[in-house]
Amino acid sequence: MLSTKVNPYEMAVKQLEEVASFIKLKPSILEYLKHPKREFIISIPVRMDDGSVKIFTGYRVQHNFALGPTKGGFRYHPDVTLDEVRALAMWMTWKCAVMDLPYGGAKGGVKVDPKQLSDNELERLTRRYAFELIPIIGPEKDIPAPDVNTNPRTMAWFMDTYSMSVGYTSPGVVTGKPIEIGGSKGRVEATGKGVVFILNEVLNRLGMNPQDVRIAIQGFGNVGTHAAFDAYKLGCKIVAVSDVSGGLYEPSGLDIPTLFDWAIQNPNKHLSSYPEYSKITNKDLLELEDIDVLIPAALEGVITENNADNIKAKIIIEGANGPTTPDAEKMLLGKGKIVVPDVVANAGGVTVSYFEWVQDLQSFFWEEEEINNKLKKIMVKAFDRVWTYSKEQNISLRMAAYAYAVSKVARALELRGIFP
């Protein structure tokens, strides 16, 4: 799923090694954290609508259990690889730790183009994938969630399959479910909303008025649409958005409420079919000259050493996981730009997933206002801690976030020890 030949797992390990050197992590702990605790590779047979059987490859990687059960989404995409899932699981460990959530990181995926499957085929794929994972998942083991090309409906199928296997309804086995079967209010919007909470904190610290800020957002799925909508409500001008088909550009600002409604009503249509505005490529969007903030909210590895010099935005807020390679980030920081790392910027989703899990376990549910207030409190606290440490140590925000997260996990490992 990378736009270059960068290996995502090698990228994640490189980031870990850099922070390990900074915090003087014990070599034995570093070696431990480089390797996922558990990896599953699954052959998933699916009976297609025409009666034929196709075999899809699925993955689930659980990186670390030191702080609690593992947590992380699973995605459907034709370019899913084991190394990608490994990287995403490791990043989830740091994300949960930096947010002070009682989880380790996990991630999953199936190598498939879901747009080529009927709804019935997609349901059979999801249920078989869930069934194969039953030995290693559960509310106290590993709690999956939505990711790229998965959604509340997918989570409902997954939860039902697990529940049928164990013999009782277990809403806490996944998060991101429909509200009617144990989902949480505010979960769908959480990642995009969290991105804008962080955006507002950055603007406040830089003394920038939201009304004067121009933003481009790469990715117009769940994260990008809600980030655009909340940034628009904040007063920012969204001048460009894009999806896999390309983007829309309007220097005077896009009509985000209308575009948001169109995207919600037409989930299978690409932005290239939208009848208004100038059309641009994803490359063009990343390199726009008239923007202050760039929010990469699509896939990993889109900002590399090949295009970092061309990025004009002063602030990059990572709505996606791993959108900036380590070499590219060094180039951006060298030019005085601010890069807010994914483990902080897009942690709204896993934070509200935590809220959902807690609500499921106690069978007591909160109102959306309470959820949003709790989300903002946790994200602002984490960002403030990372920003302050970054300034005190004269290090990047990513290094500050990783230093806190890796130190926390390492301390837990030392206290627990190695069995036997």
End-to-end CA distance of the chain: 39
* Residue 365 to residue 367: CA distance in whole angstroms: 7
Task: State which amino acid sits at residue 140.
Answer: E
Beta strand extents in 305-406 (DSSP E only): 315-317, 338-340
Residue 347 CB contacts under 8 Å (≥ 6 apart), including other chains:
95, 98, 99, 194, 379, 382
Q: What is the 3-state secondary structure (H, E, C) of 162-213?
A: HHHHHCCCCHHHCCCCCHHHCCCCCCCCHHHHHHHHHHHHHHHHHCCCHHHC
Helix (H, G, I), strand (E, B), or coil: what is residue 280?
strand
Task: State which amino acid sits at residue 355.
Answer: F
User: In terms of Cα–Cα distance, which of 280, 295, 331 is closest to 193?
Assistant: 295
Residue 214 CB contacts under 8 Å (≥ 6 apart), including other chains:
236, 237, 239, 253, 290, 291, 292, 293
- 330 catalytically annotated: no
* Residue 217 to residue 242: CA distance in whole angstroms: 7
Please give the order of strands across the beta sheet that includes 214-218: 278-280, 246-249, 237-243, 214-218, 293-296, 315-317, 338-340
Cα torsion angle, 324, 330, 333, 337, sign:
negative
Cα torsion angle, 126, 131, 133, 137, sign:
positive
Which member of 95, 107, 185, 193 is catalytic?
107
Cβ–Cβ under 8 Å, residues 275 and 262: no
**Helices 256-265 and 222-234 meet at what angle, rounded to 10?**
160
Question: What is the radius of gyration, based on Cα positions, of the chain?
Answer: 20
**Helices 222-234 and 190-206 meet at what angle, rounded to 10?**
40
Calculate the CA 9 to chain-centre distance. Answer: 16
Helix (H, G, I), strand (E, B), or coil: what is residue 58?
strand
Which residues are catalytic, by number?
107
